[in-house]
Amino acid sequence: MRARQTALILAAGGVLGLSGCAGPGGSGSSGRGGMEPVRPEAFARETGGAETAIEPGAGVARETTPRAGAPGGASVAVPGRTPMTDPMRAFGAEPVVVRSTAPRAAEPAPARVDRRSLELIDAKVGDINGRPIYVSSFFAPIEARLMAEAERLDRNAWRRLAVEEIIMPRLDGIIADELLRAEALASLTPQQRQGLRSFLTGFRRDLLSENLGSEQLARRRLETESGRTLDDALREKEEDTLIRLTLFQQINRRINVSWRDIRQRYERDQNVFNPPPTAIFRMIRVPTQNTEAVERIGGRLAADPFGEVAADPGNNFRTEEGGLVEARFEGPFEQGEFFGAAALNERARTLSTGGVVGPFELGSSTYWLHLEEIERQSVSLYDAQLRINQELTLERRRHEQRAYLDRLIERARVSNRDEMLLRLLQIAEERYGPRG
């Protein structure tokens, strides 16, 4: 094909050359100021005088080139050279020469990689308002506990604890902090922004002053003590300040606990502030047939405290605890139910603080019963009001914060929480979970 294209170009050149020569009178000047026309013979020779001969019908191009040392100046046929085409030959009379090319060496296929030998270095599991959550930074504060729990728990128990007590609180905390920080930044006035910059500048100055004014010393100290850089410490301080500001503006100011709320909670939790009284008894029980132990214990009770005698080896009722029994009761003491046996309750109701009843037989044992004291714990409304106020404030703050975060999540760009949680659990199990 290339030879045929060359022939066409050369033939066109020849025609143009001839037409240039055919001027009036055949002078060949064509009014070009003596410019010599290009003739076809100029295309029939290669540089250096090599002449190409084309054998019609042979189908093979041969080049006859004078070679030094050939007898009589004979021409030697040189195969493999691209032939020059005679431009004067008719189109189609020239054979088409097709040359084969060496096949391209196939590139070696890439070696197969065993996926089991790969290890996840870092990955993004989701994002909150465009801020990515990476695996390494997420697990850095909790990986030690995950590994410690994996040493003592089986797989199912470890999964349950990891999700409910470690991973889920960590994820919810990150989501809450980021949403609150972003909301605070969006709502800051220019004056508040200037105040925040001044506050952070003062915080940085304080850090440097604690390290003799040296920034390098401050950086080394932070990295040694907490593994943070100076920039990390400033960023955490900024986030903490913004979160506190948002909580104060959007949540804390809306919480109000009235005196009526405190009184209602006090009345509702009477069992907490005014629990039922507790009767504390000590009891000795000795097999009746063990007459020696019955006599010895009876004799000791006349001289020794009841608690010491109740630790006698002859007593077979809670000897190590000194026969201690604690029983809560409702209503008057004289109507209380302290023991499972009615006979014991009857004798217990006759006691006053410090009194002893016995010996008396019940079944195959001989008993002594002592009422050590009656504990009555009662907290007045006046004393309980601060505690109740704190409890109500904390409860309402959590409720308001949860509702506020739900509203932020609805309008923010947060990856699906459940999907992130599942992905984090899978990665945690691969890295830190129980083996085997």
| Domains of the chain as residue ranges with CATH | 1-66+78-97 (no CATH), 276-375 (3.10.50.40)
| Higher per-residue pLDDT: 310 or 13 | 310
- CA–CA gap between residue 177 and residue 243 (Å, rounded): 7
Cβ-based neighbours of 161, under 8 Å, separated by 6 or more = 149, 153
In this predicted structure, which of 84-98, 199-213, 221-235 has the lowest mean pLDDT?
Answer: 84-98
> Quick one: CA dihedral 140, 237, 409, 194, positive or negative?
negative
Instruction: Please provide residue 298's backbone torsions phi and psi, each rounded to the nearest 5 degrees.
Output: -60, -40
Question: Tokens at residue 141, please?
Answer: 């504060």
pLDDT digits (tens, 9 = 90+) for 386-408: 999 999 999 998 888 888 888 87
Name the residue type at position 216.
Q
The predicted pLDDT at position 72 comes to 46
Give the neighbor-by-neighbor strand order of the sheet with 324-328.
Answer: 324-328, 278-287, 365-375, 356-362
Statement: residue 345 has pLDDT above 70:
yes
d(CA 388, CA 257): 10
pLDDT of residue 74: 44
Q: Which of 246, 269, 258, 266 is nearest to 393 (CA)?
A: 258
If you average pLDDT over residues 311-322, what whole number do you get?
Answer: 89
- Tell me whether strands 51-53 and 324-328 are parallel, antiparallel or unpaired: unpaired
Mean pLDDT to the nearest integer, 304-329: 89
Q: Name the least confident of 97-101, 225-229, 301-305.
A: 97-101
- Return d(Cα 426, Cα 360) in angstroms, integer: 67
Could you tell me the CA-to-CA distances from 347 to 339, 341, 344, 358, 430 in Å, in that order? Answer: 11, 10, 5, 9, 64
Token look-up 């980021």 returns 178
pLDDT digits (tens, 9 = 90+) for 141-156: 899 999 999 998 898 9
Looking at per-residue confidence, does 387 or 48 come out higher? Answer: 387
Q: With CA atoms as reference, report the closest residue to 171 among 148, 141, 147.
A: 141
Mean pLDDT across the chain = 75
Q: What is the mean pLDDT of residues 414-422?
A: 81
* pLDDT for the residue 108: 60
Average pLDDT over residues 318-340: 88
Instruction: Tell me which of 188 and 25 has the higher pLDDT.
Output: 188
Which of residues 410 and 372 earns the better pLDDT score? 372
Q: What is the pLDDT of residue 406?
A: 81
Q: Which of 99, 82, 90, 78 has its CA nearest to residue 7?
A: 90
Does residue 26 carry a pLDDT above 70? no
* pLDDT digit string, tens, across residues 5-19: 444 444 444 444 434
Q: Half-sphere exposure (CA, 13 Å, Cβ side) for 179?
A: 23
Give which of 278, 362, 368, 370 is closest to 326, Cα–Cα: 278
What tokens appear for 368 in the block? 């002594």
Residue 23: pLDDT band (50, 70, 90) is: very low
More confident: 119 or 141? 141
d(CA 405, CA 246): 11
3-state secondary structure 274-338: CCCCEEEEEEEEEECCCHHHHHHHHHHHCCCCHHHHCCCCCCCCCCCCCCEEEEECCCCHHHCCC
Q: Among 65-79, 254-268, 286-300, which is the least confidently predicted range?
A: 65-79
Instruction: Write out the H or E segment, with its range, that includes residue 199.
Output: helix 190-209
Q: How many CB atoms lie within 10 A of CB 281?
A: 20
Torsion of the alpha carbons at 80, 82, 84 and 90, rounded to the nearest 10: 90
